[in-house]
Amino acid sequence: MTRKRASFGGLVLLLLIALGIAGVWAWQRYTGFADAPLAGIEEGETLVIERGDALTSVLRKLREVGVENGQAFEWSALAKQLGAADRLQVGEYRLEPGMTPRELLTQMREGRVVQRRVTIVEGWNIRELRAALARAEPLEQEAAKMSDAELMKALGHAGQHPEGRFLPETYLYTTGDSDLDVLGRAHAAMEKALAEAWARRRPDSVLKSPEEMLTLASIVEKETGVAEERPRIAGLFERRLRIGMRLQTDPTVIYGIGASYDGNIRKRDLQTDTPYNTYTRAGLPPTPIAMPGVDALNAVAQPADGDALYFVAVGDGSGRHLFAKSLAEHEANVAQYLRNYRAARKAAQ
């Protein structure tokens, strides 16, 4: 009996040793898998997790892009250890050469998805904005076939003209977002910026509503790209409105011409009456003509003092303007503009 017990005890000991060795081997393999760089990843590769995807679906998608690291049980064990097994978040994830299974599952657990950018540029009109969103990938296109009226209704602002209603800045989006998502954020941002500018307006402002401020800001935005000139031009337009003088600003005429504008504004264009022709009609046009930025809104809220009623481009390519308080002085500035313009063209030949 003693020998049998000794023999049985020896077998148990050997079994325990074998199990220990197997456990150490399995642990080493597991840790080696968890922290070893994933093979087969190319620069710029991404992985998209869709709603309803389980870990098995993720592993299949990884194999489809060339990743063969590890067995399903290793991925499952690692996912459980990281608390990611039931918390894989929907979205697009960047696969970086050299990343490990642990890093990838941690990203998916925390939802560190790829963020893309689309920029609304100051001075764009609604056609240019919609064209830019149509080119943005992988942004889903929900508004592509909508009219402007249908678009605004979808955003919850039925009856509102879309021009000028989206704040120019850079917006982040992820896979699964749509053009309506971006437009909704841009609209909310413009409403906030406009409300803040309206609250800061001068007490003696000639503007009667935030909508008028938005319209004038859009004109200022189109008239100059020189930041320090915006308050000066805003003040000039305020003085014109105050005395009942027509704004006579080319960007509104161009907007009234619409898509048929060919890059040249002619005398007949200035004489053709449209709701946006500020040479033939007094006051502000019926809607904004572009998307003004925050600086243009602030310029209209706090226009610069002065006595100038006229301005014309310098003509030297700087984008700056010459200002005048009388028509005679303005005509002299126009003559200077023509000389500068001709000299610049000659130098470029």
Q: What is the pTM of this model?
A: 0.82
pLDDT at 43 over 60: yes
Residues 255 and 274 in one domain: yes
Residues 164 and 222 in one domain: no
Residues 288 and 327 in one domain: yes
Residues 262 and 315 in one domain: yes
pLDDT band at 6 (very low <50, low <70, confident <90, very high): low
Residues 247 and 284 in one domain: yes
Which helix (H) or strand (E) covers residue 254, if one does? helix 250-257
pLDDT band at 22 (very low <50, low <70, confident <90, very high): very low
Domain enclosing residue 137, as ranges: 116-193
pLDDT band at 141 (very low <50, low <70, confident <90, very high): very high
* Residue 103 located in a structural domain: yes
How high is the pLDDT of residue 28? 46
Share of the chain above pLDDT 90, in %: 73
Amino acid at position 63, single letter = R
Average the pLDDT over 257-281 and give the result. 93
Residues 221 and 323 in one domain: yes
Residues 281 and 233 in one domain: yes
Average the pLDDT over 182-196 and give the result. 98
Return the minimum-mean-pLDDT range out of 4-8, 209-213, 250-254: 4-8
The chain-wide mean pLDDT, for the chain, equals: 90
Residues 248 and 127 in one domain: no
Residues 272 and 305 in one domain: yes
Which of 264, 252, 263 lies closest to 219, judged by CA? 252
Distance of alpha carbon 324 from alpha carbon 310, whole angstroms = 5
Return the minimum-mean-pLDDT range out of 56-70, 160-174, 201-215, 279-293: 56-70
Q: What's the DSSP call for residue 50?
A: P
Longest distance between any two alpha carbons in the chain, whole Å: 128
How high is the pLDDT of residue 3? 53
pLDDT at 81 over 60: yes
Within its chain, how far is the Cα of 30 from the centroid?
43
Give how many domains the chain has, as a whole number. 3
HSE-up (13 A, CA, CB side) for residue 93: 27
Domain boundary among 92, 114, 136: 114
How high is the pLDDT of residue 68? 82
* Residue 57 located in a structural domain: no
Domain boundary among 193, 227, 244: 193
* Residue 211 located in a structural domain: yes
* Residue 288 located in a structural domain: yes
Residues 181 and 221 in one domain: no
How high is the pLDDT of residue 42? 86
* Residue 97 located in a structural domain: yes
How high is the pLDDT of residue 9? 55
Phi, psi values for residue 167, rounded to 5° = -75, 125
CB 219, CB 251: distance < 8 Å:
yes
* Residue 344 located in a structural domain: yes
Backbone CA torsion sign across 100, 102, 108, 113: negative
* Residue 59 located in a structural domain: no
With DSSP H G I counted as helix, E B as strand and the rest as coil, what are the percentages for the chain, rounded to 5?
50, 5, 40
pLDDT band at 25 (very low <50, low <70, confident <90, very high): very low
pLDDT at 348 over 90: no
How high is the pLDDT of residue 86? 87
pLDDT digits (tens, 9 = 90+) for 196-249: 999 999 999 999 999 999 999 999 999 998 999 999 999 999 999 999 999 999
Residues 186 and 294 in one domain: no
Give the C-alpha distances (Å, rounded to integers) separating 18 from 14, 25, 30, 96: 6, 10, 18, 39
Average the pLDDT over 64-73 and give the result. 86
Residues 109 and 125 in one domain: no
Domain boundary among 193, 226, 259: 193
pLDDT at 318 over 80: yes
* Residue 21 located in a structural domain: no
